[in-house]
Amino acid sequence: MFVDVWEWRMEIDESLVAADDAEIREQVDEYTTGEREEFDIDVDYPDSFTGQVMAAMAGVPRGETRTYGEIAGQLDTAAVAVGQACGRNPVPLVVPCHRIVGADGLGGFSGGHDNRLGLKERLLELESA
């Protein structure tokens, strides 16, 4: 399914979340208007390295960031592998891959279609990270 996040369109794999399309859209809308600080949607993490990275991303609190290297240290892997897994996140925003940044900059972002880093920056500003 696709959701609109300000002027960006983001794809969310609804098969991995325990909510229907209407609930997902409602929570995304509340999040982007500042009415909601966290998502109240259970996520079924894949049984894979990507799922392990998703679980680590989900543990980063609103208003904070972690580097790819910090997540890599938690999982005993390479920062590049974490970045690649972040890029495969099938439920961006709900699992906050935007909170994972490079050691010396924003890094990448899989959410949205055009100007993805602009979306990542705006999400971090919303969270005051």
Catalytic residue among 16, 97, 101, 119: 97
User: Is 97 one of the catalytic residues?
Assistant: yes
CA nearest 75: which of 98, 100, 93?
Answer: 100
Q: CA dihedral defined by 82, 87, 92, 96, rounded to 10 degrees?
A: 30
- Measure CA 60 to chain center: 10
Strand-pairing partners, residue 17, are 43
Burial 27-44 (b: 16+ CB within 10 A, else e): bbeebbeeeeeebebebe
Q: Which residues are catalytic?
A: 97
